[in-house]
Amino acid sequence: MMKSYTYGQSFINAIDGYRSNQLMDQSMQNNKHGNKPLSARAIETMRPGDKVKVDTGENAGLRVTCGASGGKSFIYRYRSPETGKLTQVKIGNYPSMSLAEARLELARMKALRRDGVCIRAEIQREKARQSAKIEQEKEAAEVAAFTVRDLVDLYLTEVIEDRLVVNRRTGAQKRVPGARKPKGQAETRRTLYGDAVRTLGDRSAAEVRRKHVVEMVKDILDRGANVQAGNVLRELSAAYDYAIGLGKFDDDFANPALLAKSSLKQARVRLTSVRGKRVLSDAELKEVLAWLPGSGFSVTQKNVIRLTLWTGARTGEVCKARWSDVDLDRAVWHMRDSKNGAERYVQLPSQAVAFLRQLRLTTNTYLFPSSRTGLPIQQKSLTETKWYLRNSAKARSGTYFKPGQAWLDSIPDWSPHDLRRTVRTGLSRLGCRNEVAEAVIGHSRKGIEGTYDLHDYEPECREWLQKWADHLETLDGVC
């Protein structure tokens, strides 16, 4: 790297040796015409438009120019040792640099040239190095200012959520759908802001290390929220991957969330829920069916549970059901938005049809609307209500449950989702073939069976769901 030279540098001591020799840079043209060495007087009298003045002897190559504004500059003209072409470089301005100082600087430059250095090229290279350094410092500052909150917002707004794109030519706006459906968009934002942004949001994203992510995940695990911990880690890792792909970090930057995931896996930390195994026996079902009408669940929530028991559908799918998808005359529910993405037809037993005919008189667009918003009730409301029923002392202010409304504690704990598993197991107990029972609850067939057996088993599903509803009726006398 070329250093910023000053007039007191040690290499100047070598100049006296060069002055005793005839220099290759001596201008033969100057000798021929008997040009005199430059003087301060000659420089001072220069006016705009005057010819370039040149020095002679050992100072050959030093030139003085006078610009249109009257400013005077010292120039070193030489043949580049790199290209062999004539080139020149500015030494300084007169009178801020004296003639003596200019000649001293000229001697230094000539010494460098004899060592094979092209002064002009080296100056250009130094400028390029300085520009690159400034750019690197600028990029480093931008990386340092890019926080985890910025990282999360970038991922949410450019990947997960819907966004408006403006046509630069016409100004027209176009909505581009995000990677998730509206519910998934809201859930992803809640997941990342609830833990990742809350814990690491103000920290530079580039300074987050494996240990920081591991500590955050362990805090979530300490709350008993294993599934949430896994969700946060997955989404944070995806957010980092997206930012890395956009060049937001140095090339050698490693995704700290991905490293944390590897560490947690090595430590055998569970980031998923324990696979559900709870199935209600007939005796337990009988107790639940007797308790449900007077329980603390809202009327709408009770109705969701009833239809779940009759059909084996997921509670989330039941919550979102629309009347436009239900044909009571044909006793079928067209499920358009299932968890696995496949449409299917849910057969309705006669008990469910009779129940829905009565429900149709009181609701409009949705089977199970919220009394507050008119939109479908949320699946999580079932879980939240269950929590309050089990912990009535911690319920919201003003919330009161009578003894008979509290959670049923005479049987082992269960959740609304366990009812779907109970339906599937109950069908098997009644003698339903495996492939029919799987079709009833909407499980897609895998492997060769899923490739070659395309029968939808709708007649069989209708038959066995009716048998199941009849069985429930024997337990409850109402359901």
**Which of 108, 130, 152 is the C-terminal boundary of a domain?**
130
Instruction: Work out how many domains the chain is built from and give that number.
Output: 3
Exposed e or buried b for every residue in 365-391, given b needs 16+ CB within 10 A? ebbbbeeeeeebbebebbeebbebbee
Averages of pLDDT over runs of 10 residues in the chain (479 residues) are 40 40 43 71 93 92 94 94 93 95 95 92 92 82 85 96 90 90 89 95 94 96 88 96 93 95 92 77 94 93 96 94 96 84 88 96 94 91 86 56 81 90 95 93 62 67 96 79
- Do residue 192 and residue 101 come from a single domain? no
Q: For residue 95, is the peptide bond before it cis, meaning its omega torsion is within 30 degrees of 0?
A: yes
**Which of 130, 161, 186 is the C-terminal boundary of a domain?**
130
Structure tokens at 329: 């005359």
Q: Residue 65 CB: number of other CB atoms within 10 A?
A: 17
- Name the nearest CA neighbour of 394 among 381, 409, 406, 404: 406
Residue 461 domain flag: yes
What is the rounded CA–CA span in Å between residue 302 and residue 333?
A: 19
User: 464 burial class (0-12, 13-18, 19+ CB within 10 angstroms)?
Assistant: buried
Residue 184 domain flag: yes
- Name the nearest CA neighbour of 193 among 201, 181, 185: 201
Residue 140 domain flag: no
- Do residue 259 and residue 392 come from a single domain? no
Residue 94 domain flag: yes
Residue 341 is predicted with a pLDDT of 64
- Name the nearest CA neighbour of 76 among 96, 48, 50, 104: 104
Alpha-carbon separation of residue 219 from 147, 240, 265 (angstroms): 21, 20, 16
What is the rounded CA–CA span in Å between residue 227 and residue 272?
A: 5
- Do residue 250 and residue 290 come from a single domain? no
Please report, in angstroms and rounded to a whole number, the separation of the first and last CA atoms in the chain: 87
Assign residue 49 the CATH number of its domain. Answer: 3.30.160.390
Q: Which residues contact 329 (CB under 8 A, 6 or more apart)?
A: none
Range of the domain at 218: 175-266
- Do residue 234 and residue 188 come from a single domain? yes
- Do residue 359 and residue 396 come from a single domain? yes
Residue 151 is predicted with a pLDDT of 96
Q: What contacts 24+ positions apart, CB below 8 Å, involve 120-129? A: 120/80, 120/87, 120/88, 120/89, 121/80, 121/82, 122/2, 123/2, 123/89, 125/2, 126/1, 126/2, 129/1
Q: What is the pTM of this model?
A: 0.50
- Do residue 261 and residue 349 come from a single domain? no
Residue 408 is predicted with a pLDDT of 84
Alpha-carbon separation of residue 460 from 319, 432, 438, 466, 468 (angstroms): 25, 9, 11, 10, 12
84 contacts 107 by C-beta, under 8 angstroms:
no
Residue 394 is predicted with a pLDDT of 52
The runs of H, that is alpha helices, within 223-255 are: 226-245
- Do residue 286 and residue 389 come from a single domain? yes
Structure tokens at 128: 């390029």
Residue 207 domain flag: yes
Question: SS3 of 323, please?
Answer: helix
279 contacts 418 by C-beta, under 8 angstroms:
yes
420 contacts 314 by C-beta, under 8 angstroms:
yes
- Do residue 20 and residue 116 come from a single domain? yes
- Do residue 370 and residue 465 come from a single domain? yes
334 contacts 348 by C-beta, under 8 angstroms:
no
Q: Partners of 147 in the beta sheet? A: 204
Question: Sign of the CA dihedral 57, 62, 67, 73?
Answer: negative
- Do residue 386 and residue 315 come from a single domain? yes
Is residue 426 left, alpha or beta, with left meaning phi > 0 and alpha meaning psi from -120 to 50? alpha
- Do residue 23 and residue 81 come from a single domain? yes
Residue 68 domain flag: yes
Residue 135 domain flag: no
**Which of 130, 151, 166 is the C-terminal boundary of a domain?**
130
- Do residue 185 and residue 314 come from a single domain? no
Residue 201 domain flag: yes
Question: SS3 of 87, please?
Answer: strand
